[in-house]
Amino acid sequence: MSTAPRIQRLPQTLANQIAAGEVVERPASALKELIENALDAGATRIEIRIEQGGKKLLQVGDDGCGMGPADARLALERHATSKIATVDDLFRIGTLGFRGEALPSIASVSHLELTTRLREEAVGTAIEVKGGQVGEPRPMAMPPGTRVTVRTLFFNTPARLKFMGSDRTETGHCTETVLRLALGHPGVAFRLHVNGRETVNIRAGEDERAVRERLGGVFGGDFADNCLEFSGGREEVRVFGWLGLPTLNRGNQGGIHLFVNGRWVRDRVINHAVREAYGDTLARDRHPVWALFVDLEPQGVDVNVHPTKQEVRFQQRNLVYGIVRQAVAGTLATMGARTYQAPDRLPDQAAMALEPEAEPEAAVIATLPPAASRPVHWDAPSPRPPREDRHRGDSWPPSGTSHGPRRVAETPREDPVGQIPFPDLSAPVPPPPAPDPPPAPDLGQPLAQIHGTYILAQTATGLVLVDQHAAHERIVFETLKQAHAEARLERQLVLIPDVVELTSPEADRLRQALPQLAELGVVVEPFGGNAFTIRELPALIADCNPQQLIRDLLHDLDRYGHSNAVTQRLDAVLATMACHGSVRANRKLSLEEMDALLRRMEQTLFSGQCGHGRPTYVTLSLAEMERLFGRR
């Protein structure tokens, strides 16, 4: 019998390679780590070079704080970090990095060179690492800051190398990473060279042009003209960002960018909150396009939940949900009749040539061919959102949102977590400030009805074509919704109540939701054990299947902590009523009728989209007409 221990300590290099498997999935993930380090170091300019999709070369240079020779060596060791020191620190992370894992992981699967210089030193330090073997530091003349060069990534892990995409694919991912981080850090300039050619050049700054550049980079050039800027929340949880108009929607979640304390993450609770706020301005299977920033005290959010730090956990999920939903819904309510407006000219940030693969899926439902091949497009001469409002000094970034080591200093380290007062979950979310009335769009004077279906109108700047059914349906729907919201809630009592049997976690969830449900007119009573009976239903949906309703509700509560199953059903009834109650296609309209419809559209919320998220009208500008006839 052998007594040799079977468990062995892994050699350091192998341990790093295993960690690398988690941290560094592809060049873009290594790039993300390097840029985040630069941001944590307080850089104001970040220079990035990639070659062959990052497989041959990834280089990130910054003008941040830099490191001394000893720190530079330590930085390449696992679990060496300057960013947290105690367990408590882990619960109030204000930096993007905190594990001390990224650099050694990358170094273990590449040839890495780190050159760095403290501002106050005259010379810098260079260290080379080959497949995890850390070389000796040597002095080097260089400007202050840090530059990390990663060559031949994955050279010693052939299996991973096989999973890499084409150069184009990987370049696309890297570019996306850069643009995304740039959007999250407006105070920092970013420049990207791909195979020696500059493809991204974003200035630091928060003026409108800089903001447009950043938004354009992530969403495409037409976003800035088709979005609503917003900010809201309260002191402990601030939210701000940009919401794409509902007509600018997509079939996937690729147009969704959430930043929590400057960190780009995915979070289905927030996605759901925003999606709910968009409600029926979009068809059920479409996704809105938005960038949303949530800023809160680091203690309020656990960032240590995902291997590549792409998910977070909110301590007060419900509070955040409520704030996001209200802020978004309040903003969308100001939108009036705006619909998607195609760009008049190519975005002036032409320098930001995205790789084709990184280009967001164009999903503008205005039945328009892609912008490039489109000779002429109809669009909406909708009013700009109130510009004075767009860049209130404090709105971007909101005060106290600078990320990086400076941020950490703002929170005294000695504070034990438990003593930091954090907002109470039960505190009601304050209602959003009454939205400014949206400027009424100008839909012009009706000229004629076309094919009994569309209204042609002339405006000061061009032509408008209105889909009469879709437009009228939205008007009727909004009127109904408003009327029903203001009216008493009629409830039908149930003679033979359904009994639903639930599992005990479901029952707990439902029990907690009972008061809110009752407010919506759904009265559910415990029926012993984990059974419940449904005693009253809103009269409008009295014929719905209550069992199904409860199941949908629990599903939502489980996944998102909130549910709109009831309001959705109510809205669906109103939507059907609206559809039946509005003028059909192929109905002749007199000029007066057409005029009345246009005037009502100008005054109706969301009149730019029908209930299915399609535009209710499109426009053709004079300029476009002139171009059409070769006058321009």
Ligand X SMILES: Nc1ncnc2c1ncn2[C@@H]1O[C@H](COP(=O)(O)OP(=O)(O)OP(=O)(O)O)[C@@H](O)[C@H]1O
Considering the rule CB under 5 A, would residue 579 count as an interface residue with Zn ion?
A: yes
Binding region for another protein (CB under 8 A) out of 240-248, 311-319, 479-487, 623-631? 479-487
Binds 305, which of Zn ion, Mg ion, another protein, none (CB < 5 to 8 A, cut-off by type)?
Answer: none
Give least dist CB 98 to Mg ion, A: 8
Q: How far is the CB of 151 from Mg ion (least distance, A)?
A: 19
Segment (H or E) for 192: strand 189-194
The nearest distance, CB 94 to another protein, in angstroms, is 50
Q: Find the binder of another protein among 140, 305, 539, 628 (CB under 8 A).
A: 539
Q: Does 408 bind ligand X (CB under 6 A)?
A: no
- Give me the half-sphere count of Cα atoms (radius 13 Å) on the Cβ side of residue 250: 16
Characterize 284-300 residue by residue with b for buried, 16 or more Cβ atoms within 10 angstroms of its Cβ, and e for exposed.
Answer: eebbbbbbbbbbbbbbb
Count of beta carbons in the 10 Å neighbourhood of residue 500: 22
Based on the shown chain and the rule CB under 5 A, indicate whether residue 572 belongs to the binding site for Zn ion: no
For another protein, the binding residue among 386, 497, 557, 623 (CB under 8 A) is: 497
Dist CA 362 CA 348 (whole Å) = 19
The answer to the question of residue 569 lying near another protein (CB under 8 A) is: no
Q: Judged by CB, which is closer to another protein: 436, or 490? A: 490
Q: In whole angstroms, give the CA distance from residue 462 to residue 203.
A: 35
How many angstroms separate the CA atoms of 357 and 172, rounded? 6
Nearest residue (beta carbon) to Mg ion = 97
Rounded to whole angstroms, the Cα distance separating 50 from 190 reads: 14
The four Cα atoms 218, 223, 227, 231 give a dihedral, to 10 degrees, of 20
Does 95 participate in binding Mg ion (rule CB under 5 A)? no
For Mg ion (CB under 5 A), the number of binding residues is: 3
- DSSP helix/strand/coil, 49: strand
In the region spanning residues 12 to 41, those forming contacts with ligand X, defined by CB under 6 A, are 33, 37-38, 40-41
The site string for another protein over 426-465 (x = CB under 8 A, - otherwise) reads ----------------------------------------
Instruction: Point out which span in 91-99, 107-115, 476-484, 553-561 binds another protein (CB under 8 A).
Output: 476-484
Per CB under 6 A, 99 contacts ligand X:
yes
For residues 431-490, which are near Zn ion according to CB under 5 A?
473
Q: Position of tokens 């012009």? A: 444
For Zn ion, which is the closer residue by CB, 473 or 571?
Answer: 473
Residue 83 interacts with, from Mg ion, ligand X, Zn ion, none (CB under 5-8 Å by kind): ligand X
Tokens of 305: 């939940």
In the list 101, 176, 222, 473, the residue contacting ligand X (rule: CB under 6 A) is 101
SS3 350: coil
Number of Cα atoms under 13 Å in the Cβ half of residue 266? 7
Task: Give the range of 54-62, 173-181, 324-332, 486-494 binding another protein by CB under 8 A.
Answer: 486-494
3-state DSSP call for residue 215? helix
Nearer to ligand X (CB atom), residue 117 or residue 474:
117
Judged by beta carbon, residue 174 or residue 544, the one nearer another protein is 544
* Cβ neighbours, 10 Å, residue 560: 19
CA separation for the pair 93, 286 (Å, rounded): 35
Total site size for Zn ion, rule CB under 5 A: 2
Number of residues that bind another protein (CB under 8 A): 27
Cβ pair 92, 146 in contact under 8 A:
no
585 binding another protein? (CB under 8 A): no
Binding status of residue 115 toward Mg ion by CB under 5 A: no
Which residues ranging from 110 to 149 are in contact with ligand X (CB under 6 A)? 146
579 binds, among Mg ion, Zn ion, another protein, none (CB under 5 to 8 A by kind): Zn ion
Instruction: Report DSSP state, residue 220.
Output: -
Fill in the per-residue mask, 30 to 69: x = in contact with Mg ion (CB under 5 A), - = not in contact.
Answer: -------x--------------------------------
| Closest to 537 measured CA to CA, from 526, 553, 552, 524 | 524
The residue (of 204 and 579) whose beta carbon lies closer to Zn ion is 579
97 or 611: CB nearest Mg ion: 97
Is there binding between residue 100 and Mg ion (CB under 5 A)?
A: no
**Close Cβ partners of 418 (under 8 Å, ≥ 6 residues apart):** none
55-to-49, 149, 392 alpha-carbon distances in Å: 11, 12, 42
- Going by C-alpha positions, the residue among 270, 248, 57 that lies closest to residue 150 is 57
- The helices-and-strands tally (H runs, E runs) of the chain is 18, 24
Q: What is the smallest separation between the CB atom of 33 and Mg ion, expressed in angstroms?
A: 5
Task: Report residue 609 as tokens.
Answer: 């989209």
Distance CA 568, CA 555 (A): 14
Query: Binding to ligand X by residue 61, rule CB under 6 A?
Result: no
Q: For residues 113 and 125, what is the distance between their CA atoms, to the nearest angstrom? A: 10
Q: Which of 6, 372, 496, 528 binds another protein (CB under 8 A)?
A: 496
Q: Which is nearer to another protein, 52 or 567 (CB)?
A: 567
Helix (H, G, I), strand (E, B) or coil at 302: strand
Q: Which residues pair with 198 in a beta bridge?
A: 193
CA distance 567 to 561: 16
* DSSP H or E run through 322: helix 317-332
E strand or H helix that includes residue 140: strand 138-140
Q: Report which residue type is found at 236.
A: E
In the bound complex, what is the minimum distance in angstroms from residue 87's beta carbon to another protein? 52
37 binds, among Zn ion, Mg ion, another protein, none (CB under 5 to 8 A by kind): Mg ion
Choose the stretch contacting another protein; rule: CB under 8 A; options: 51-59, 218-226, 456-464, 496-504.
Answer: 496-504
Give the DSSP H/E element, type plus range, for residue 449: strand 445-450
Instruction: Decide which of Zn ion, another protein, ligand X, none touches 146; Cβ closer than 5 to 8 Å per partner kind.
Output: ligand X
For the bound state, the minimum distance from the C-beta of residue 310 to ligand X, rounded and expressed in Å, comes to 12
Task: Round to whole Å and give the CA distance between 240 and 392.
Answer: 12
Scanning 232-240, 322-330, 408-416, 542-550 for contacts with another protein by CB under 8 A, the matching segment is 542-550
Nearest-approach distance from CB 171 to ligand X, in angstroms: 22
Would you tell me which residues interact with ligand X (CB under 6 A)? 33, 37-38, 40-41, 62, 64-67, 75, 80-83, 97-103, 146
Would you tell me which residues interact with another protein (CB under 8 A)? 480, 483-484, 486-488, 490-498, 536, 538-540, 542-545, 547-548, 573, 577
Would you tell me which residues interact with Zn ion (CB under 5 A)? 473, 579
